[in-house]
Amino acid sequence: MNFTWRVYLVGEDPDLSLLRRELAAGDVLLLTGEQGSYLQAADFEAYTDAADVLTAAQNLITLLNGMLSRRSYRPVRSAGRIERGGSTWVYVSDTVRVTAAISADGVVTDAEGAVAPSGPSQLARQLRAALDHPVVAEAHRILGLTASPSWHEFYKVYEILQVACGGGDYELSRCTGVSQRRIEKLTATCNHQVLSGDEARHAAMKGTPSTSRRITKDEGRAIINELIEGYVSAQQ
């Protein structure tokens, strides 16, 4: 498909570079031109209005940030600049400025000269899973709403997947392949102030859980990733 819309992004160079490597081929691309890094997607081509493209791009960016959210990744965002052909739309807060007949960018490079992968990248596969499964899209959207998802976000994703798998931890474990013991450690740490301190979902939860049930935030995110991946595998 010949993509025509460009939605420019801003972010830290390492994070934009990561996205360019992961999105070097497929239905969603991140490329670079003289004006910076820009996002292109097959879904954008369904629209004729730049405002609709911006909305679609912001939803996509939230998904991408959720999929990549970890300590070493800092979220990217729309720069408010959209191009198509010779026209440019610049969005600044609620104000829209339209400038026509802007000269095109220079030669576009792919992933900073890196060789495009022969098959879909992990991020591209995650995007496809989100498009195919609304539950997965909602899970990644929640994780992408904040720069550093924590126990509150983890628990929301757990709840969404639990319901989708049948409503209980047994069903969630059977559906995803994640052991009930690991799921219980996740929920205990999410909930109890003894295990996760001020970031816990509760401030005065009764009982004194064993500290052996405590997991780190990185371990919690790993379990969430396993639950999402397990759910996707179960749908295939």
Domain boundaries, given as residue ranges, for the chain? 5-117, 150-235
Give strand pairing partners of 109.
32
Q: What is the DSSP letter of 145?
A: S
Instruction: Give the integer Cα–Cα distance in Å for 224 and 123.
Output: 16
Strand, coil or helix: what is 90?
strand
What pLDDT, on the 0 to 100 scale, is given for residue 18? 93
Alpha-carbon span 98 to 88, nearest angstrom: 6
Residue-wise pLDDT for 103-133, tens only, equals 334 333 343 444 445 567 888 888 888 888 9
pLDDT tens digits, residue range 121-172? 888 888 888 888 999 999 999 999 988 899 999 999 999 999 999 989 999 9
Q: Is the pLDDT of residue 229 over 80?
A: yes
* Per-residue model confidence as pLDDT tens digits over 91-101: 875 444 444 33
Residues 18-77: tens digit of each pLDDT: 999 999 988 999 999 988 999 999 999 999 999 999 999 999 999 999 999 876 889 999
Q: How far apart are CA 188 and CA 169, in angstroms?
A: 13
pTM of the shown model: 0.79
Whole-angstrom distance, CA of residue 96 vs CA of residue 80: 9
